[in-house]
Amino acid sequence: MRKTRLGFLAACALVVACSGAGEENTSVSKDAIIGPSAPGGRNEVVMIYAFVNTPTGSGYRTCSGTYYAPRVVVTAAHCLQDVVDRPLFVYYGDDFEADSSQLTEDAYGLVPPPPGTPSSFAQADSFESHSSFDPSAIYPDIGVVYLDRKLPFDPLPILRTPLEANRQVTLTGWGSNSTPTPTTGAGAGVQRTGTSRTLGSPTAADYHPEDPNPGLLIAANRPSLLKLDGRAPYANGCFGDSGGPVLVNNNGQTYIAGVNYFTGLSCADYSLATRPSSFLPFLDQGYKKGGQEVLKPAFDCVAPNVNGTLTAFFGYDNKNGVSVTVPYGVKNALSRDTTAQRLTRYLPGTHHFAFGVDFTASQTLSWTLSPDNSPTTTITVSQASRRCGAAEAEQTECALSCRASQRSGCAILPTFEECTRFCREQATAIRDALPQCSAANSAIHTCTAAVSSNPANWSCYDQFGAYAEGPCAAQIEALNTCFGF
């Protein structure tokens, strides 16, 4: 378990670091988490494999977690700190070293096999820590990861009452099984399982300055924490077991009674877990955001095109933590969308200018979206609908440019929303660094928006999409001149 500063909070193991740290030996299978245990464990206990950027280096870090709701994993909040953008995966196989070959690379990084195909990996659609999580106090150290697919087994339920002292429990995770130094571990990447017993809630005496856990000094926090006996003959959590479960059997049913987050020096003597029973509203909301929340379509505005047509831009609000798929058909119908611009996969969050559809002044657009677990919504747009105004001028300029490039026929293109976001980020960077070049940059977008879909007009780049380098060569040259190239 890995801690801040000294590196020991319930153990996130950094597997590959740019600072020169070597790769953990993920094939080691000795006979302990730390103490008596055995390789293997329940399918529901998964590995969190995420790319992080920390003050000490960057690379892929491993933690543990538990599948507790469809498409949702509970883990330690500190496991979700410093994660860089997209690359956060959940591994649920039996041999990480062998199965890591399932991860391939595209223009944006590592990707698992797509949902619906054989895989031992899922990718995070999003993730969140408890809203009160304080990294400096390491409390409350609980978070959830929302997956792009259901896993091929049933989730484990949360124990909704506090676990009492002197109960036999099971510890399982993907962490280290040896400690070369008091603050480092080795042998992570293999699931192991052992037995421990509960000692009740910790006290202030469990705080050690050389191994700081400041939240433990706050008396009000301690009832929400669970102390586990790590002394022989019991097993104990270690680096990389952060986020893994404390499992208890009640009347034949296994429950998640704790979320591991902290361990003693050299992973000895004791470990601490967060009691999920103290954070049921957060976990229940996480369950709901696994696909039970509402997805609604939205209309942004209408913009004119140089050829006399109009483009209506649409967005959506997905209150889930997971993406929601709505295939084309009666549940996702827009008859004038003849070039299939509307989405079938809706990402978490609020999205504007997610796609655009062309129409003429005499036509009306009607988009009906009826996702599972959400009401049916129909949006009707005509030439009289709200026009894109000054407040969204830059977004509209980029969207019209991306509308043209999306029709280029290039084999690899970013999504319309990604294209628009990149365009705006570039415009902001130019405005901040070289404001005198903003007009030249805007001229490229205006030129691009007017280019037809004839493939001869476009140059294709695998990582960046399509550019109208021929028709807009003069505008591109003007920007390069302004840059001093």
pLDDT digits (tens, 9 = 90+) for 114-156: 999 999 999 999 999 999 999 999 999 999 999 999 999 999 9
416: left (phi over 0), alpha (psi -120 to 50) or beta: alpha
Please tell me the predicted confidence (pLDDT) of residue 449.
97
Question: Could you tell me where in the chain the CATH 2.40.10.120 domains are found?
Answer: 13-288
pLDDT tens readout for residues 314-361? 999 999 999 999 999 999 999 999 989 999 999 999 999 999 999 999
As a whole number, mean pLDDT of residues 252-265 equals: 95
**Residue whose C-alpha is closest to residue 463's, from 396, 418, 403, 420:** 418
Chain-centre distance of CA 189, in angstroms? 20
Identify whether the C-beta of residue 306 lies closer than 8 Å to the C-beta of residue 450: yes
Please tell me the predicted confidence (pLDDT) of residue 377.
98
Q: What topology is assigned to 291-388 in CATH?
A: Immunoglobulin-like (2.60.40)
Angstrom distance (rounded) from CA 275 to CA 145: 18
Confidence of residue 37 (pLDDT cuts 50, 70, 90): low
pLDDT at 388 over 80: yes
Question: Could you tell me where in the chain the CATH 2.60.40 domains are found?
Answer: 291-388
Q: Pick one of 3.40.50.300, 3.50.20.10, 2.40.10.120, 3.40.50.10310 as the CATH number of 13-288.
A: 2.40.10.120
Chain-centre distance of CA 168, in angstroms? 34
pLDDT at 1 over 50: no
pLDDT at 86 over 70: no
pLDDT tens readout for residues 58-77? 888 899 999 999 999 999 99
pLDDT at 277 over 80: yes
DSSP E strands in 232-288: the ranges are 245-250, 253-263, 269-274
pLDDT averaged over the chain? Answer: 90
Identify whether the C-beta of residue 388 lies closer than 8 Å to the C-beta of residue 300: yes
Q: Is the pTM of this model over 0.75?
A: yes
* Sequence-ordered list of residues with C-beta below 8 angstroms from that of 214, at least 6 positions apart, any chain: 136, 137, 138
Please tell me the predicted confidence (pLDDT) of residue 132.
97
